[in-house]
Chains A and B, each alone.
Chain A
Amino acid sequence: MLRIPCPFCGPRAEIEFRCGGEAHIRRPADPDALSDAEWADYLFMRGNPKGVHFERWFHAHGCQRWFNLARDTVGDRILAVYAMGAEPPAGLRREAEVRGDD
């Protein structure tokens, strides 16, 4: 059971949270402009990386706030926590991209 550092409440047990899956998937501004395949990409396609994963968590049994979190999907270490709407820390983003290349 992970220990999630809620930016609003402090570290809490994972059972208080709901994981909301991959972060930074922007909802298309004009869905009608998209082909079926492009829409499916938004709806269904996921990076699912082995390594740094940017994901959203919801403190359901706590402050009821959403936030972003970076976690290593191999070691399950939590690497960073940052606000909803913020960009992931630059270093981690680079790491995620490098991993994606090899």
Chain B
Amino acid sequence: MRRYSIFTLARNALTGHRDWPRAWRSPEPRSRYRVVIVGGGGHGLATAYYLAKEHGIRDLAVLEKRWLGGGNTGRNTTIIRSNYLHDESAALYDHALRLWAGLSRELNFNVMYSDRGVMMLAHNPHDVQIFKRHIHANRLNGIDNEWLTPAEAKAYCPPLSIDRTARYPVAGAALQRRGGVARHDAVAWGYARAADSLGVDIIQNCEVTAIRREGDRVTGIETTRGSIAVEKLGIVVAGHSSILAEMAGFRLPIESYPLQALVSEPVKPIFPCVVMSNTVHAYISQSDKGDLVIGAGTDQYVSYSQRGGIQVIEHTLEAIVELFPIFSRMRMMRQWAGIVDVTPDRSPIIGRTPVRGLYINCGWGTGGFKATPGSGHLFAWTIARDEPHPVNAPFDLDRFASGRLIDEAAAAAVAH
């Protein structure tokens, strides 16, 4: 891998940038790999990178149906935080957050991780109790999260209205300073480039059409670019997990919903952090380009169409304008939807499946982007060793039968 730096940039400027190497190769798929990862989003590419780097598995391909990072990696609002309530979740997301901190240099690709702080607003005594519970639990888990009064919240985010006569006035906020945002596409590209340089074959426009089994063991896959024999198969296809599981002959406790989002026209820096309000449903930050990036809710029905709707967007903008009255004249420039796989306990599934040699990583709901590095790291471990890492062990498929759920939604009344 030829390294990126200000010096190589300057050197290439002299030659009109004609000599930059490809960020990743575009190989033909081989007929056999030791490990194949299905899904070229951030999680799949990260999995491949860590499999190659930390577990020495280079006989490895990532198959992507369309283009790298084209699913939820490229459609999310990029919020990164780890202040989850349950010990299991906090450990999982903080595992990722620690990797985010050094990711640009690890990959030699600037993913623009910016720890601008994620502030979650409380609007009533019930919210206050819930956030205090989070803060106490997070602190004892070694995860930063602090309570802000309304005035402190406004000081941290000046556009915020703390008008006490508002319909749902701000009663305070929980702030995780290490939380923030990153450039979503760059995460996929950075992992792809780094994985490629370790010998991983990254194959786009290659759709898996069938999964072959012998008995309870996976043996290979059929794709639109031919058959591939595999020893191990990892599935990381947010938005299509149920479809792949069905190909392999098992079912998942997952339903897929469109998650709506929008951006405003770009403006000069006005919004210094990330603000979330689960009570009134608003999630907002400002991108490096200057757009206000706003997350909305999901549609209420299962769908695989990544289409924007109007009523979900309206509801979110009502909340945005309540909280930030100065944004009323800002304009929506683009709206879209991603497809999120939602589990009954709003926690992901990372682990083995009823099919031997087949591993699944899915069910991240609306919060998968923040977990990307950690998810890949843990999933790589799970595939390489055929057993879960202690951090992802609780996130197995069996928990739905035993009832040992990790219920972030119920426990926190918190969307992600």
Q: Which residues of A contact B (CB under 8 A)?
A: 1-2, 14-15, 18-19, 21-22, 35-37, 39-41, 43-50, 53, 55, 71, 73-76, 100
A44 to B347, CA, bound (A): 13
- Say yes or no: B302 contacts A14, CB within 8 Å: no
A98 to B280, CA, bound (A): 42
Instruction: Specify which of B240, B252, B301 is in contact with A71 (CB 8 Å cutoff).
Output: B301
- Say yes or no: B301 contacts A55, CB within 8 Å: yes
Chain B interface size band reads: 20 to 34
- Say yes or no: B311 contacts A46, CB within 8 Å: no
Q: Does B402 contact A (CB under 8 A)?
A: yes
Nearest residue (CB) in B for A13 is B311
- Say yes or no: B304 contacts A40, CB within 8 Å: no
- Say yes or no: B305 contacts A49, CB within 8 Å: no
Question: 8 A-B contacts, Cβ less than 8 Å apart?
Answer: A15-B311, A43-B400, A45-B253, A48-B252, A50-B240, A53-B302, A55-B302, A73-B303
Give, as a whole number of angstroms, the nearest-CB distance from B296 to chain A.
13
Give, as a whole number of angstroms, the nearest-CB distance from A59 to chain B.
13
Q: Does B310 contact A (CB under 8 A)?
A: yes
Which DSSP category, helix, strand, loop or mixed, fits chain B's interface?
loop
Give, as a whole number of angstroms, the nearest-CB distance from B363 to chain A.
11
Nearest residue (CB) in A for B245 is A48
Residues of B within 8 A of A15 (CB): 311
Q: Does B246 contact A (CB under 8 A)?
A: yes
A14 to B300, CA, bound (A): 10
Residues of B within 8 A of A19 (CB): 300-301
Nearest residue (CB) in A for B303 is A73
Residues of A within 8 A of B78 (CB): none
Give, as a whole number of angstroms, the nearest-CB distance from A51 to chain B.
9
Known: A71-B301, A74-B305, A100-B246. Contact between A46 and B254, CB under 8 A? yes
A37 to B398, CA, bound (A): 8
Give, as a whole number of angstroms, the nearest-CB distance from A73 to chain B.
5
A71 to B255, CA, bound (A): 15
Residues of B within 8 A of A41 (CB): 251
Residues of A within 8 A of B402 (CB): 36
- Say yes or no: B304 contacts A73, CB within 8 Å: yes
- Say yes or no: A18 contacts B300, CB within 8 Å: yes
Q: C-beta contact mask, B223-259 vs A, less than 8 Å → 1, else 0?
A: 0000000000000000010110010000111111000
Instruction: Specify which of A18, A37, A46 is in contact with B242 (CB 8 Å cutoff).
Output: A46
Q: How many A-B residue pairs have CB under 8 A?
A: 70
Instruction: Specify which of A1, A22, A35, A73 is in contact with B309 (CB 8 Å cutoff).
Output: A1
Interface residues of B in 131-162 (CB under 8 A from A): none
- Say yes or no: A48 contacts B309, CB within 8 Å: no
Q: Does B166 contact A (CB under 8 A)?
A: no
Give, as a whole number of angstroms, the nearest-CB distance from A28 to chain B.
15
- Say yes or no: B305 contacts A48, CB within 8 Å: no
A15 to B242, CA, bound (A): 27
Among all A-B residue pairs, the 6 with the closest Cβ atoms: A44-B253, A48-B242, A40-B401, A19-B300, A19-B301, A45-B251
A75 to B303, CA, bound (A): 8
Q: Does B344 contact A (CB under 8 A)?
A: yes
Residues of B within 8 A of A55 (CB): 301-302
Residues of A within 8 A of B400 (CB): 40, 43-45
A50 to B402, CA, bound (A): 28
A1 to B314, CA, bound (A): 12
A37 to B399, CA, bound (A): 10
Residues of B within 8 A of A1 (CB): 309-311
Give, as a whole number of angstroms, the nearest-CB distance from A90 to chain B.
22
Residues of B within 8 A of A14 (CB): 300, 311
A73 to B302, CA, bound (A): 7
Nearest residue (CB) in A for B312 is A1
- Say yes or no: A76 contacts B253, CB within 8 Å: no
